[in-house]
């Protein structure tokens, strides 16, 4: 299906404003693959003078040759002989007579293949771009490479950018715009699998059920998302098999370092660098219980929905999928998908909607575990003397009165030291509803009204 340009108004406005500034601009744009960076840049260039160049992994000279050909086309001039990026930009500045945006996509490929590239572009910025009417946009999908090669204090380009954008995933309500004929419940299920990544949404059809989309596009060896996880891990990491082992352990339910290490067969003391790398690109997250004030007992979870889905359902059955024997996988999926959706729904509520019902200024939202007690969300106010406890139920006909009573009983067992407390239950809908109970539809309505 064709997807319209959706939910990038802030980013597009930012780029328009910078193009219309009266000074040189060096903008850095980055974010995970498939997030929609290229579409954003193409949309931006529809309204402004400039050109788009996509780098590849062929090395500096081959890319310079392709880049100078782009410059030649843009200027309507003959191609210069030099294959030096500095001299190509120098020619561009000399021949160009108006404001222009030069977009270099996958700049991280250049950095990956040639560690001198940041220094080369430092000279270009300092000696050419600063004196020109150019807007240069460096864009990359390798978050680690962009941060190391462009944004970090150790990079020669550090301090030279005039702005940057990290492109984030879309929210649940944004996919309502992609699939306007779907129910909210259907889109919750879709978001729980795709995580609001435009490239994945494009592969799902509104005319098929979520189960049919999953079977056709993810489970099937001919599916367009079948090789996605392997591709992304190979693109981002030099040891993809180690990262896959770690994610497989987490997909099986391991959350603590020792558990993950044991399951992945990696010594716990060697795990930190891999976990940090996965956190840096947004695949996993480290979290602490809301009452772990000393932050000594972290848990790790897969926070990217597509990766979470893959390592919950697909990777354990990868051998069967390779020979297209899907009976065991489909049976496991049918039995466990609703449980998966319950956890995904909790995350959606915590990250995107919970603020709409909390009656105080929020400092922190987290999960809570304390001994045998687990609560879906603990919300703290800005001075730490007011807590809200929230249970989230991916269910219909919920007895809200009973759930609130159980929640209050749990909280009585916690060391709160006379904190002021509020209690809430969020569910798809209720059979018994009392004060503090909100259907998800009500919260969505508040969000849409901007309350």
pLDDT in tens for each of the 451 residues of the chain?
Answer: 444 566 688 999 999 999 999 899 999 999 988 999 999 999 999 999 999 999 999 999 999 999 999 999 999 999 999 999 999 999 999 999 899 999 999 999 999 899 999 999 999 999 999 999 999 999 998 877 787 778 888 899 999 999 999 998 999 998 887 888 999 999 999 999 999 899 999 999 999 999 999 999 999 999 999 999 999 999 889 999 999 999 999 999 999 999 999 999 999 889 999 999 999 889 999 999 999 988 889 999 999 999 999 999 999 999 999 999 999 999 999 999 999 999 999 999 999 999 999 999 999 999 999 999 999 999 999 998 999 999 999 999 999 999 999 999 999 999 998 899 999 999 999 999 999 999 999 999 998 887 5
Which pTM does this prediction carry?
A: 0.90
Domain(s) labelled CATH 3.40.50.300 in the chain stretch across: 9-166
pLDDT at 5: 62
Burial of residue 377 (CB within 10 Å: 0-12, 13-18, 19+) is buried
User: Who contacts 269 (Cβ-Cβ below 8 Å, separation ≥6)?
Assistant: none
According to DSSP, the β-strands at 373-381 and 299-302 are unpaired
Contact 100, 147 (CB under 8 A): no
pLDDT at residue number 1: 40
Rounded to 5 degrees, φ, ψ at 159 are: 85, 0
Pick the CATH number of 352-449 from 2.30.29, 3.40.1350, 3.30.70, 1.20.120: 3.40.1350
Q: Is 333 exposed, middle or buried (0-12, 13-18, 19+ CB in 10 A)?
A: buried
Say what the pLDDT of residue 150 is: 87
Domain 9-166 maps to which CATH number in 1.10.1660.10, 3.40.50.920, 3.40.50.300, 2.40.50.1020? Answer: 3.40.50.300
Q: Name the segment(s) of the chain with CATH classification 3.40.1350.
A: 352-449
Nearest to 216 by CA among 206, 228, 226, 202: 226
């Amino acid at each position: 299906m064709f997807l319209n340009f959706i939910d990038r108004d802030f980013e597009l406005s930012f780029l328009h404003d910078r193009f219309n500034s009266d000074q040189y601009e060096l903008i850095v744009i980055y974010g995970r693959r498939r997030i929609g960076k290229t579409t954003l840049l193409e949309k931006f260039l529809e309204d402004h003078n400039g050109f788009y160049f996509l780098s590849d992994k062929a090395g500096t000279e081959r890319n310079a040759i392709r880049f100078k050909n782009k410059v030649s086309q843009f200027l309507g001039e003959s191609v210069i002989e030099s294959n030096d990026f500095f001299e190509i930009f120098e020619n561009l500045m000399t021949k160009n007579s108006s404001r222009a945006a030069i977009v270099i996509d996958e700049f991280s490929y250049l950095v990956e293949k040639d560690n001198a590239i940041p220094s080369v572009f430092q000279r270009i910025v300092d000696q050419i771009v600063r004196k020109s009417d150019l807007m240069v946009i460096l864009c990359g999908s390798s978050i680690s490479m962009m941060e190391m090669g462009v944004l970090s204090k150790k990079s020669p380009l550090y301090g030279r950018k005039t702005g940057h954008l990290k492109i984030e995933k879309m929210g649940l309500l944004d996919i309502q715009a992609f699939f306007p004929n779907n129910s909210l419940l259907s889109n919750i299920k879709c978001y729980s699998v795709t995580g609001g990544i435009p490239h994945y949404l494009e592969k799902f059809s509104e005319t098929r059920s979520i189960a049919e989309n999953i079977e056709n596009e993810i489970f099937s060896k001919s599916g367009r998302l079948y090789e996605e996880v392997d591709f992304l891990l190979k693109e981002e990491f030099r040891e993809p098999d180690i990262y896959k082992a770690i994610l497989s352990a987490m997909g099986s339910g391991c959350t603590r370092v020792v558990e993950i290490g044991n399951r992945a067969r990696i010594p716990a003391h060697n795990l930190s660098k891999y976990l940090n790398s996965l956190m840096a690109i947004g695949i996993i997250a480290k979290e602490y219980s809301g009452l772990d004030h000393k932050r000594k007992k972290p848990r790790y979870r897969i926070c990217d929905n597509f990766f979470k889905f893959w390592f919950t359902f697909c990777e354990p059955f990868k051998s069967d999928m390779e020979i297209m024997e899907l009976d065991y996988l489909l049976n496991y999926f049918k039995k466990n998908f609703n449980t998966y959706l319950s956890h995904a729904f909790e995350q959606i509520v915590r990250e995107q909607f919970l603020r709409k019902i909390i009656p105080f200024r929020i400092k922190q939202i987290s999960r809570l575990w304390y001994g045998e007690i687990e609560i879906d969300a603990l919300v703290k106010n800005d001075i730490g003397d007011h807590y809200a406890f929230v249970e989230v139920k991916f269910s219909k006909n919920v007895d809200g009165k009973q759930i609130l009573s159980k929640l209050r009983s749990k909280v009585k067992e916690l060391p709160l030291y006379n904190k002021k407390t509020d209690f809430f239950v969020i569910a798809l809908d209720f059979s018994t509803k009392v004060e503090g109970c909100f259907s998800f539809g009500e919260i969505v309505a508040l969000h849409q009204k901007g309350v």
